């Protein structure tokens, strides 16, 4: 069986930074409340003229450079996002155009914040099948464009960004060791956008009611997350034939510091093995674990041979955990 791993990684966040002080001017909140409840101090916000594919393109260029490859070396593009430029056109197809490519397949997957773990699982399988050799996988979100800035419970949570990885066959024993993905499907609107889909197309009334924006039942999300994060991580480690003590680095979905702390406590992972950057970026959905991996590489924390687990949960409700032996 082939070993498939990440050859290069790049990430991009928009230049504009929104601090908690900025939100104090928009809604009835405070830096103290936001920090204590979420762990977030600032987040990056996409420019009005930018779209998700623009961030994807920037991250993709960095990933290709890190892998010392050109766009022509790719044979598939996958973008994990719930905020494509257009609903009827995949962001991956626009990225293909931006990269100057013409015929290679390109498509999006929608798994919410679990998008990168789903994409890694899919890419691993496609390369092992022999159908593809080198895949560009990007996880990206423009969440601030679907955020209601009158809702103080959600508007402080989200930021924008993209992370891209190059997947290809790697040396035996390295790369993706296991993955465990799943879903607990629900239709109660725990984490959703009420209008704009086939169930409820946009109307003047839906726009007036702000139903084009994210709504979230926080307690339900918290209950789901604090249970599924440790469970999925343990299962992925088990599938890799490893013990939790074998783990060198744990990168959880950066959604809420309280969820992260609860999951880490249940997993009994030492704090020095947990990478947290939620304070700088907020929740960038599918991009969070990719951006965190990128920073861990820059800081010399994630190096060749290290065992790393990334775990996420998201709308759907979805979840996923991927265990890797870092390949570069």
Q: Which residues are catalytic?
A: 113, 253, 283
- Written as six digits, the tokens of 247 are 């783990």
Q: CB neighbours of 186 closer than 8 A, spacing ≥ 6? A: 316, 317
What are the start-end ranges of the H helices in the chain? 20-24, 31-38, 52-67, 91-98, 115-128, 204-208, 218-239, 257-267, 278-281, 288-298
With CA atoms as reference, report the closest residue to 322 among 258, 262, 250.
Answer: 250
For residue 147, the surrounding DSSP H or E stretch is none
CB-based contacts of 311, cutoff 8 Å, min separation 6? 117, 229, 232, 233, 236, 250, 251, 252, 253, 263, 289, 319, 320, 321, 322
- DSSP 8-state assignment for residue 170: E
| Residues near 109 by beta carbon (within 8 Å), at least 6 away in sequence | 78, 79, 80, 115, 118, 119, 122
Give 201-262 as a DSSP string.
---HHHHHTTTTS-EE-HHHHHHHHHHHHHHHHHHHHHHTT--GGG-SEEEE--S-HHHHHH
DSSP state of 144: G
**Both tokens of residue 181?**
């993905």
Helix (H, G, I), strand (E, B) or coil at 311: strand
What does the block give as tokens for 28?
Answer: 């009835």
Rounded CA-CA distance 91/108 in Å is 7
Strand 134-142, strand 76-80: pairing: parallel
């Amino acid at each position: 069986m082939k070993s498939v791993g990440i050859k290069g990684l790049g990430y991009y966040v928009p230049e504009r930074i929104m601090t908690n002080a900025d939100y104090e001017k928009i809604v009835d909140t405070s830096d103290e409340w936001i920090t204590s409840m979420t762990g977030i101090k600032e987040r990056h916000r996409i420019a009005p003229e930018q779209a998700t594919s623009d961030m994807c393109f920037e991250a993709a260029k960095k990933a290709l450079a890190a892998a010392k490859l050109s766009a022509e070396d790719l044979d598939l593009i996958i973008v994990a996002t719930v905020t494509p430029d257009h609903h009827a056109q995949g962001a991956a197809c626009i990225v293909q155009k931006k990269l100057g490519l013409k015929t290679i397949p390109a498509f999006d997957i929608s798994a919410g914040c679990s998008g990168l773990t789903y994409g890694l699982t899919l890419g691993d399988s496609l390369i092992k099948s022999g159908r593809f050799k080198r895949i560009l996988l990007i996880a990206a979100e423009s969440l601030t464009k679907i955020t209601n800035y009158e809702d103080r419970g959600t508007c402080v949570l989200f930021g924008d960004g993209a992370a891209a990885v190059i997947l290809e066959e790697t040396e035996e024993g390295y790369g993706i060791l296991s993955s465990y993905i799943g879903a607990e499907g629900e239709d109660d609107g725990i984490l959703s956008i009420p209008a704009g889909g086939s169930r409820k197309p946009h109307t003047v009334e839906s726009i007036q009611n702000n139903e084009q924006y994210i709504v979230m039942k926080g307690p339900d999300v918290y209950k789901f997350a604090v249970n599924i994060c440790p469970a999925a991580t343990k299962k992925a480690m088990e599938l890799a034939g490893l013990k939790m003590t074998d783990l060198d680095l744990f990168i959880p979905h950066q959604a809420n510091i309280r969820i992260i702390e609860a999951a880490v406590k249940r997993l009994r992972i030492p704090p020095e093995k947990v990478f947290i950057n939620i304070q700088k970026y907020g929740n960038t959905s599918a991009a969070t674990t990719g951006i965190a991996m990128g920073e861990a590489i820059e800081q010399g924390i994630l190096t060749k041979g290290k065992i790393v687990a990334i775990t996420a949960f998201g709308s759907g409700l979805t979840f996923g955990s991927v265990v890797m032996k870092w390949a570069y």
